[in-house]
């Protein structure tokens, strides 16, 4: 399968997952609003949802792909079975600890909610009900990584749709029942997330059992060097792959000291994740296996070239997305979320947070792409260092800026964390001579910036004509901005005819 076709399939799946997730969050706002119950549910949902998003976007691929890709098919299948069994046992143990210590975890997730014992008790309850989804989606992600190694992208890409699809069904059902209080609705949603995770696991398991060659063979686990290496690499891989999600989690802890801060940050983050999640899925599922293959072949020149071309593609989407989110933050928050229990003040607060987060989108995207080279090398220690640098900057900047600019300052702190993460990754790659800024990339970046600037100016002018947006007006602004950007990108040379022919070459 060509790199273009693989990217297209993974991209369609990632977009579908993000669209379903977006619909889910619109329904969250409609059913729960942004009050104490919503803060409690979203604080509890943050941890399992963070794990789900990281692993569904290929968070364990950096640990699995380089090691299993070097083994013979039969041995790879045996080691894969060992990994699944060991991870299943470990996850069940962790889930048991979470169920017992949910109160302490609730306080750690949202320390600002600790002043209200009833709200904190709700966080603990929802954590207990929702956390089992972590077992299911993590095991499903391991299976998806095995399918990606064998270039079987369809099931691996589409299976994550089960969780969001199941939650949407539950939300629609709950929205029609006016007799249930909000806290009961949130409890049922937490339970529904765990059941939907089980459906995702069954989907991936069925795909693993189909096919000609052996992908997984189960036995009593053998503590081979390959298994030990995978287990030792698993945690750093998750932390490094989910760096941006962890920055958001740190911001959530700080935001819990602001009324409705957890909810505002959650909804704004979900909008930003639409473009970011696409690049994360493409990087982990398509770019990483290619980089790993070139690394084994000693093709450092191909690695550098692939990084620059991938960055061009990433920024081709990230820069206009960042600009559009910055300009359209207010109308997006109003049109998408302001209904039901979500009022105008909540929409305005969400818009301010979205504006701050949008500034970090290009840097978050760069970090996602460039870290794939470190993953391909198995240099998880370096990726962990870059993630820790971003966490430190996020915590410090969010606390400082939050004191002056409230929730908008916390969002800016998260964006600065993304900048620090991308900058640290670039420094490590340059020291290893695995990345350099070539002339083609610099020229393409200038042309992308020009096209983005023209699109931004057009959107600002259009907003003056439609200051009070409706659904149709927002759709027209988004589609019109996309059309202007596409035309400008073609005229300025940010996209050329050669790009398509290069992408459709066999990988």
Per-residue pLDDT tens over the stretch 295-328? 666 666 667 777 777 788 788 888 999 999 999 9
Token pair of 85, please?
A: 């069994």
Beta pairing partners, 2: 506
Average pLDDT over residues 435-450: 86
DSSP output for 311-337: HHHHHHHHHHHHHHHHHHHHHHHHHHH
Interval 121-143 mean pLDDT: 89
Q: What percent of the chain has pLDDT over 70?
A: 81
- 423 burial (CB, 10 Å; 0-12 / 13-18 / 19+) is middle
- By the 8 A CB rule, do 138 and 57 touch? no
Q: With bands split at pLDDT 50, 70 and 90, how would you rate the model's confidence at 495?
A: confident
Burial grade of 464 (CB within 10 A; 0-12, 13-18, 19 or more):
exposed
**Chain segment 448-466, per-residue pLDDT in tens:** 999 999 999 999 999 887 6
Q: Quick check: 436 pLDDT over 90?
A: no
Exposed (0-12), middle (13-18) or buried (19+): which is 326, by Cβ within 10 Å?
A: middle
Lowest average pLDDT, out of 287-291, 420-424, 432-436, 463-467, goes to 287-291
Q: Is the pLDDT of residue 441 over 90?
A: no
Question: How confident is the model over 468-492, as a mean pLDDT?
Answer: 89
- Residue range 362-401, pLDDT digits in tens: 999 888 888 877 766 666 778 889 999 999 999 999 999 9
Cα–Cα–Cα angle for 486, 446, 430, rounded to 5 degrees: 120
Cβ proximity of 280 and 427 under 8 Å: no
pLDDT confidence of residue 3: 46
Whole-number average pLDDT of the chain: 82
> Residue 504: is its pLDDT beyond 90?
no
pLDDT surpasses 70 at 56: no
Over range 185-202, report the average pLDDT: 89
Q: Average pLDDT of 45-49?
A: 81
Percent of the chain with pLDDT over 90: 27
Is residue 78 very low, low, confident or very high in pLDDT (cuts 50, 70, 90)?
confident
Asked whether the predicted pLDDT for residue 283 surpasses 50, the reply is no
Residue 246 in this model has a pLDDT that exceeds 70: yes
- Higher per-residue confidence, 409 vs 170: 409
Query: What pLDDT does residue 231 have?
Result: 72
Higher pLDDT, 343 or 359: 359
Q: Which residues neighbour 410 within 8 Å (Cβ) at sequence distance 6 or greater? A: 251, 254, 255, 258, 261, 265, 353, 356, 398, 401, 402
The residue among 86, 67, 78 whose CA lies nearest residue 215 is 78
pLDDT higher than threshold 90 for residue 412: yes
Confidence category of residue 507, pLDDT binned at 50, 70, 90 = very low
Using the predicted structure, report yes or no on whether residue 142 has a pLDDT greater than 60: yes
Given pLDDT bands bounded at 50, 70 and 90, which one contains residue 429? confident
CA distance 350 to 358: 12
pLDDT average, residue stretch 467-477: 81
Are 437 and 305 in contact by the 8 Å Cβ rule? The answer is no
Element (H, E) at 160: none
Res. 358 pLDDT band, cuts 50 70 90: very high
Q: Give CA separation, 398 vs 7, 354, 408, 423, 478, in Å.
A: 35, 15, 9, 18, 30
Which has the minimum average pLDDT: 51-55, 266-270, 490-494, 497-501? 497-501
The tokens describing 423, both together, are 């900058």
Q: In Å, how far are 66, 104, 126, 137 from 193, measured between CA atoms? A: 31, 22, 11, 11
Q: Is 379 helix (H, G, I), strand (E, B) or coil?
A: coil
Name the residue with higher pLDDT: 428 or 109. 428
Q: Does position 200 have pLDDT exceeding 70, yes or no?
A: yes
Pick the residue with more confidence: 414 or 207? 414
d(CA 166, CA 193): 7
**Percent helix, strand and coil across the chain, each rounded to 5?**
85, 0, 15
Burial of 71 (C-beta count, 10 Å sphere; 0-12/13-18/19+): middle
Q: Answer yes or no: is pLDDT of 70 > 90.
A: no
According to the model, what pLDDT value does residue 299 have?
A: 67
pLDDT at position 4 is 47
Q: Which two tokens stand for residue 83?
A: 């990994």
CA pair distance 98, 103, nearest whole angstrom: 9
Residue 410 has pLDDT above 80, yes or no: yes
pLDDT score for 2 = 46
Assess whether pLDDT exceeds 90 at residue 182. no
């Amino acid at each position: 399968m060509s790199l273009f076709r693989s990217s297209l399939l993974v991209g369609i799946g990632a977009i579908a997952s993000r669209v379903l997730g977006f619909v889910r969050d619109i329904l969250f706002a409609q059913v729960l609003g942004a009050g104490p119950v919503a803060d409690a549910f979203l604080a509890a949902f943050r941890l399992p949802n963070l794990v789900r998003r990281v692993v569904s976007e290929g968070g364990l691929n950096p640990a699995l792909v380089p090691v299993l890709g070097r083994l013979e098919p039969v041995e790879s299948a045996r080691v894969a079975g060992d990994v699944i069994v060991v991870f299943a046992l470990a996850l069940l143990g962790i889930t048991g600890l979470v169920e017992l210590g949910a109160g302490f975890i609730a306080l750690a997730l949202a320390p600002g909610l600790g002043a209200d014992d009833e709200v904190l008790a709700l966080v603990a309850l929802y954590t207990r009900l929702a956390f089992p989804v972590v077992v299911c989606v993590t095991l499903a992600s391991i299976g998806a990584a095995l399918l990606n190694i064998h270039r079987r992208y369809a099931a691996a890409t589409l299976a994550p749709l089960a969780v969001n699809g199941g939650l949407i069904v539950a939300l629609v059902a709950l929205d029609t029942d006016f007799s249930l209080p909000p806290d009961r609705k949130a409890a049922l949603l937490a339970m529904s997330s765990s059941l939907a995770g089980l459906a995702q696991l069954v989907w991936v398991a069925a795909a693993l059992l189909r096919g000609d060659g052996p992908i997984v063979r189960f036995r009593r686990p053998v503590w081979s060097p390959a298994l030990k290496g995978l287990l030792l690499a698993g945690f750093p891989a998750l932390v490094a792959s989910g760096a941006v999600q962890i920055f958001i989690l740190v911001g959530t802890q700080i935001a819990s000291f602001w009324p409705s801060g957890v909810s505002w940050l959650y909804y704004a983050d979900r909008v930003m994740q639409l473009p970011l999640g696409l690049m994360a899925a493409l990087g982990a599922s398509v770019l990483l296996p290619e980089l790993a293959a070139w690394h084994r072949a000693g093709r450092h020149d191909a690695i550098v070239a692939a990084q620059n071309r991938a960055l061009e593609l990433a920024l081709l989407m990230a820069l206009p997305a960042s600009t559009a989110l910055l300009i359209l933050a207010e109308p997006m928050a109003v049109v998408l979320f302001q209904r039901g229990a979500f009022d105008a003040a909540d929409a305005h607060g969400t818009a301010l947070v979205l504006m701050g987060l949008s500034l970090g989108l290009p840097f978050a995207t760069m970090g996602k792409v460039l870290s794939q080279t470190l993953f391909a090398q198995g240099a998880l220690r370096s990726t962990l260092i870059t993630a820790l640098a971003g966490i430190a900057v996020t915590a410090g900047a969010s606390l400082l800026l939050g004191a002056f600019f409230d929730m908008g300052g916390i969002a800016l702190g998260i964006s600065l964390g993304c900048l620090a993460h991308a900058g640290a990754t670039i420094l490590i790659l340059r020291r290893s001579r695995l990345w350099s800024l070539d002339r083609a990339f610099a020229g393409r970046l200038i042309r992308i910036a020009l096209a983005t600037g023209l699109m931004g100016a057009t959107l600002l002018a259009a907003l003056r004509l439609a200051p009070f947006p409706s659904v149709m007006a927002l759709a027209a602004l988004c589609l019109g901005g996309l059309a202007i950007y596409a035309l400008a990108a073609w005229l300025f040379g940010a996209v050329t005819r050669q790009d398509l022919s290069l992408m459709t070459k066999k990988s």
